[in-house]
């Protein structure tokens, strides 16, 4: 009987492994873009222009009627508190919010946080928040060339990849990255090594292989869909074991990434989830699109 | 070769091959009969007593041999081999075993096991899933046909495991878990129909076919029309009872198609060479079995040799992985057969089969229409509560020992009855046990009586169709 259960389980594993999420390419347009800055209205002109230049790819006519995105601006004169800021943003109903790290941060460019405004905005707002580097660092690229989608669970995340596709220019480069946390893996393997019924070596190899196979399969379906749609940018896959934010930072810097895209919201908590926060805090000179 | 034949010859007393002639007291026959009944009961309660089939028949074989020897009904003095001019005794339990049957099961099990590890059966099953575009009715039809086909070329249990596992995964993917019970039950019932399709599809077929001397093609030509009709009826009835309807709206259709499109049939294929090699070998295997009675040498060496030949070829090709294939072989089944054949042989010498044969003769008379119908029905009922292998092995011995020629209708009644009876109860066949195991895996409650209540109309229709079919052709 246990043999039969074992064989049922074996075939179920075969079929579950064969059941792969397929990437569905979706058109994404940003009809309303809202820039939020802590500068005065007069001072904001230059940085708004910088942002528009950076977002040239999405700042173009769309839809059947050829509408162009509507740009809005909230400056320090428009709100006085976080709560006030949230209400004002809600009134605009934006599809994308553009802001800077350490927005309205009284201590200036804090090294260990994003500042209370950005923390609140990224978690409260439904639309994605594009966080540009501190203008004083004078680092934003003039235009986006290389986009990197960042996650430790890429498989089936169409929303994330579609955003990456939307921000990657023709002849640009889209990096789909998936980093399996080596520390967590080692912790589980330490437990498995203490269970006599499980062959540790077989388990280590099989689990490792399967963990990397799933995102690789999904990326293959992304590449297929992107090529079928006639999009002309390059798509690269970076699937490996690593140690969270530090390795993502290394990959991003090694590939001269202009924009990193990742999820920040976690359904089970109101605060930004761990890896997203580390990334957002540590990567200061690359623009971040936070979903 | 000739010199070897001159020096190594096997001599068996005629009585061992046909009927026992030793005088056996009635009480001794009764004791052996009781032992046989106990073994059948133990096999029926296999799961309850936590003993493997091979252990059960092994224990009973040992006890039967001891009793048979004590009662003096075993033909020790008539078993010898001439080996280089020296007479050597052959152990009494060696010729008791039907080695041709063992060869067929051993050879085809290894061959099928090696080929199935190429991923070919999963590939076919996933292709059919995608072809259905996720439509529940098409899925039921395709899975139903595949169950029959896989049961015919693999074995019922393997077919149920493959199709049942895929059913669970695909229906879950489609968000149609409520259909799981219907799908799995229908597939379970179809495995026993598929088991009727060819001579090697189930053990009763092998035993009866080997006893009568049916060729692979003869068997297929006779059984296939019934299997086709009964499969269609079972699927249609299943769709009606379990309300498995086709998708109507375009949106539902495209959504379902999108969901099953994610299945990658190539995922389980580790080696393309192995995959295609297995596919080609399988075609040749079926071809060789079909042509065995016409192909020179094969016609003399028999079907068991063909199975062993293909097993040897596959093991030679994949010689580095032989240990893996040996370890996955169903040794329990093989030792079960050996023990069973020994028990039946002792029963034959102990006149138990002679007594049972008298009862069967009373049931079937001269083998007319009523006789065939009664035998088919009785075999079905008997195999619904106990293993159909000892049943068919005993009936084959009893029918073969009948005076005069046994009508073909009786042989087919044994084949149909012992295969289809498994559909009457959840313990009637190994494949329905697997179906129930998968059903339980998905937390669907199905007890003995619920299974009988649902499966009864299907099983009765299949058995009635089989009786009508046998009577129509004979």
User: What's the Cα-to-Cα distance from A177 to each of B287, B307, B431, rounded to whole Å?
Assistant: 51, 51, 45
Is A8 in contact with B267 (Cβ distance < 8 A)?
no
Q: Which alpha helices (DSSP H) does B401-443 contain, by range?
A: 408-420, 430-441
What's the pLDDT score for residue B18? 43
Please report which confidence band the pLDDT of residue A215 belongs to, taking 50, 70 and 90 as the band edges: very high
B47 chain-A contacts, CB cut-off 8 A:
1
Which one of B166, B258, B434 has the shortest CB-CB distance to A15? B166
Q: Give the DSSP H or E segment for B65.
A: helix B53-71
Residue B371: alpha-carbon gap to chain centroid = 24
Which one of B157, B169, B437 has the shortest CB-CB distance to A5? B437
- Give the relative orientation of helices A116-124 and A82-92 as an angle to the nearest 10 degrees: 40
Q: Which residues of B346-370 are buried (b: 16+ CB within 10 A; e: fewer)?
A: bbbbbbbbbbbbeebbeebeebeee
B437 chain-A contacts, CB cut-off 8 A:
1, 4-5, 8
A14 chain-B contacts, CB cut-off 8 A:
119, 122, 165, 267-268
| CA nearest to B390, candidates B34, B43, B158 | B43
Does residue A148 surpass a pLDDT of 80? Answer: yes
Phi, psi angle pair for B422, to nearest 5°: -60, -15
CB A167 within 8 A of CB A145: no
DSSP-assigned states of every residue in chain A = -HHHHHHHHHHHHHHHHHB-----------SEEEEE-SS-HHHHHHHHHHHHHHTTTTSS-BTTTTB-PEEEEE-TTT-SSHHHHHHHHHHH--SEEEEETTTT-TT-S-SS---HHHHHHHHH-SS-EEEEPPGGG----SS--EEEEEES--TT-HHHHHHHHHHPPTT-EEEEEEEEEHHHHHHHHHHHTT-TTS-HHHHHHHHHHHHHHHHHHHHHHHHHHHHHTT--SEEEEEEEEE-THHHHHHHHHHTT-SEEEE---BTTBSSPPHHHHHHHHH--SSEEEE-
State the Cα angle at A144 between A139 and A148, rounded to 5°. 95
Is A4 in contact with B164 (Cβ distance < 8 A)?
no
What's the pLDDT score for residue A276? 78
SS3 assignment, position B83: strand
The contacts of residue B449 (CB under 8 Å, 6+ apart) are: none
Interatomic CA distance for residues A30 and B394, integer angstroms: 78
Interatomic CA distance for residues A85 and A124, integer angstroms: 11
User: Which residues in A have their CB inside 8 Å of a CB on B?
Assistant: 1, 4-5, 7-8, 11-12, 14-22, 24, 217
Map tokens 């709100």 to a residue.
Answer: A79
Q: Which alpha helices (DSSP H) does B195-249 contain, by range?
A: 203-212, 216-241
Q: In the Cβ-directed half-sphere of B101, how many Cα atoms lie within 13 Å?
A: 28
Is A18 in contact with B268 (Cβ distance < 8 A)?
yes
The model's pLDDT over B30-85, given as tens digits with 9 standing for 90+, comes to 999 999 999 988 887 877 888 888 999 999 999 999 999 999 888 876 666 666 66
Interatomic CA distance for residues A116 and A103, integer angstroms: 8
What's the pLDDT score for residue A109? 60
Q: Which residues of B233-261 are buried (b: 16+ CB within 10 A; e: fewer)?
A: ebbebbbeebebeebeeeeeeeebeebbe
Q: What is the nearest CA distance from A135 to chain B, expressed in angstroms?
A: 45
CB A175 within 8 A of CB A234: no
What's the pLDDT score for residue B459? 94
Interatomic CA distance for residues B270 and B186, integer angstroms: 32
Average pLDDT over residues A46-59: 84
Q: In the Cβ-directed half-sphere of B197, how many Cα atoms lie within 13 Å?
A: 26
In total, chain A counts a number of residues equal to: 291
Enter the DSSP assignment of B79. Answer: E
SS3 assignment, position B178: helix
Interatomic CA distance for residues B221 and B208, integer angstroms: 16
- Give the relative orientation of helices B352-364 and B26-44 as an angle to the nearest 10 degrees: 80
Is B264 in contact with A5 (Cβ distance < 8 A)?
no
What's the pLDDT score for residue B66? 96
The model's pLDDT over A176-190, given as tens digits with 9 standing for 90+, comes to 999 999 999 999 999
For the ranges A53-57, A228-232, B55-59, the lowest mean pLDDT is seen at A53-57
Map tokens 């946390």 to a residue.
Answer: A181
B165 chain-A contacts, CB cut-off 8 A:
8, 11-12, 14-15
Does residue A198 surpass a pLDDT of 50? Answer: yes
The contacts of residue A231 (CB under 8 Å, 6+ apart) are: A165, A168, A170
What interface predicted TM-score (ipTM) does this complex get? 0.77
pLDDT per 10-residue tile (average), chain B, 474 residues: 41 42 83 91 81 90 95 78 70 87 88 87 93 95 96 87 93 93 96 93 90 91 96 97 93 91 88 90 90 86 91 89 83 88 90 83 75 90 81 88 79 94 84 89 87 93 95 84
DSSP E strands in B114-221: the ranges are none
Is A22 in contact with B262 (Cβ distance < 8 A)?
yes
What's the pLDDT score for residue B411? 92
Interatomic CA distance for residues B116 and B275, integer angstroms: 9
The model's pLDDT over A85-143, given as tens digits with 9 standing for 90+, comes to 888 888 889 999 998 877 777 656 667 777 778 877 887 778 898 988 876 665 556 78
Cα of first residue to Cα of last residue in chain B, in angstroms, is: 45
State the Cα angle at B102 between B434 and B69, rounded to 5°. 110
Does residue A283 surpass a pLDDT of 50? Answer: yes
Phi, psi angle pair for A90, to nearest 5°: -60, -40
Residue B323: alpha-carbon gap to chain centroid = 25
Is B165 in contact with A17 (Cβ distance < 8 A)?
no
User: What's the Cα-to-Cα distance from B329 to each of A32, B118, B203, B332, rounded to whole Å?
Assistant: 66, 16, 16, 9
Interatomic CA distance for residues B104 and B303, integer angstroms: 6
The model's pLDDT over B423-464, given as tens digits with 9 standing for 90+, comes to 988 877 888 888 998 999 888 988 888 899 999 999 999 999
């Amino acid at each position: 009987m246990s043999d039969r259960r074992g064989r049922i389980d074996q075939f179920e594993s075969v079929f579950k492994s064969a059941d792969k999420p397929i990437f569905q390419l979706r058109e994404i347009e940003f009809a309303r873009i809202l820039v939020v800055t802590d500068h005065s209205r007069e001072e904001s002109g230059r940085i708004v222009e910088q942002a528009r230049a950076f977002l040239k790819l999405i700042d173009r006519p769309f839809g059947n009627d050829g509408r162009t995105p509507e740009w809005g601006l909230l400056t320090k004169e428009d709100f006085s508190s976080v709560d006030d800021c949230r209400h004002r943003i809600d009134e605009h109903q934006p599809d994308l919010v553009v802001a800077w790290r350490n927005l309205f941060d009284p201590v200036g460019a804090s090294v260990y946080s994003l500042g209370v405004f950005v923390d609140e905005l990224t978690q409260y707002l439904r639309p994605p928040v594009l966080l540009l580097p501190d203008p004083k660092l004078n680092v934003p690229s003039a235009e986006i060339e290389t986009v990197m989608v960042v996650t430790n669970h890429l498989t089936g995340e169409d929303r994330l990849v579609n955003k990456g596709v939307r921000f990657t220019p023709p002849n640009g480069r889209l990096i789909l990255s998936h980093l399996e946390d080596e520390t967590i893996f080692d912790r589980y393997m330490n437990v498995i090594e203490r269970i006599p019924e499980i062959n540790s070596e077989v388990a280590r190899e099989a689990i490792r292989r399967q963990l990397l196979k799933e995102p690789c399969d999904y990326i293959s379906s992304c590449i297929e869909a992107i090529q079928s749609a006639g999009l002309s940018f390059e798509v690269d896959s970076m699937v490996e074991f690593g140690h969270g934010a530090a390795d993502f930072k290394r990959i991003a810097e090694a590939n001269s990434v202009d924009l990193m895209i990742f999820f920040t919201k976690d359904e089970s908590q109101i605060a930004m989830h761990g890896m997203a926060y580390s990334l957002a805090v540590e990567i200061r000179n690359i623009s971040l699109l936070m979903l | 070769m000739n010199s070897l034949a001159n020096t190594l010859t096997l001599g068996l007393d005629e009585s061992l091959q046909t009927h026992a002639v030793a005088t056996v007291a009635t009480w001794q026959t009764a004791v052996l009969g009781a032992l046989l009944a106990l073994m059948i009961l133990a096999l029926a309660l296999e799961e309850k007593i936590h003993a493997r089939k091979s252990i059960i028949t092994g224990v009973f074989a040992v006890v039967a041999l001891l009793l048979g020897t004590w009662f003096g009904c075993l033909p020790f003095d008539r078993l010898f081999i001439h080996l280089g001019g020296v007479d050597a005794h052959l152990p009494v339990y060696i010729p008791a075993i039907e080695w041709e049957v063992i060869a067929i099961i051993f050879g085809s099990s290894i061959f099928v096991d090696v080929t199935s590890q190429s991923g070919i059966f999963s590939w076919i099953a996933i292709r059919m899933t995608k072809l259905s575009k996720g439509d529940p009715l098409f899925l039921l039809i395709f899975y139903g046909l595949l169950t029959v086909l896989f049961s015919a070329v693999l074995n019922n249990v393997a077919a149920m495991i493959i199709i049942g596992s895929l059913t669970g995964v695909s229906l879950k993917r489609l968000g149609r878990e409520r259909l799981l019970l219907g799908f799995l039950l229908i597939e379970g019932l179809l495995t026993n129909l598929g088991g009727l399709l060819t001579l090697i599809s189930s053990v009763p077929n092998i035993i009866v076919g080997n006893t009568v001397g049916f060729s692979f093609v003869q068997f297929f030509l006779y059984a296939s029309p019934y299997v086709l009709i009964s499969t269609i009826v079972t699927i249609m009835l299943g769709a009606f009872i379990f309300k498995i309807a086709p998708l109507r709206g375009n949106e539902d259709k495209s959504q379902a198609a999108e969901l099953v499109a994610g299945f990658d049939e190539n995922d389980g294929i580790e080696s393309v060479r192995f995959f295609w090699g297995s596919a080609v070998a399988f075609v040749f295997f079926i071809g060789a079995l079909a042509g065995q009675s016409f192909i020179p040498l094969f016609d003399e060496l028999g079907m068991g040799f063909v199975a062993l030949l293909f097993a040897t070829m596959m093991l030679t090709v994949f010689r580095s992985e032989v240990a893996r294939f040996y370890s996955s072989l169903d040794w329990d089944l093989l030792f079960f057969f050996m023990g069973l054949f020994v028990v039946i042989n002792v029963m034959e010498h102990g006149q138990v089969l002679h007594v049972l044969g008298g009862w069967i003769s009373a049931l079937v008379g001269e083998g007319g229409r009523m006789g065939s119908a009664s035998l088919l029905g009785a075999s079905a009922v008997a195999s619904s509560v106990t293993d159909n292998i000892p049943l068919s092995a005993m009936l084959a011995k009893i029918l073969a020992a009948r005076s005069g020629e046994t009508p073909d209708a009786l042989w087919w009644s044994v084949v149909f009855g012992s295969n289809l009876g498994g559909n009457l109860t959840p313990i009637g066949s190994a494949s329905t046990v697997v179906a129930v195991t998968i059903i339980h895996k998905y937390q669907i409650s199905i007890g003995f009586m619920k299974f009988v209540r649902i499966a009864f109309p299907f099983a009765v229709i299949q058995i009635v169709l089989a009786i009508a079919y046998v009577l129509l052709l004979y």
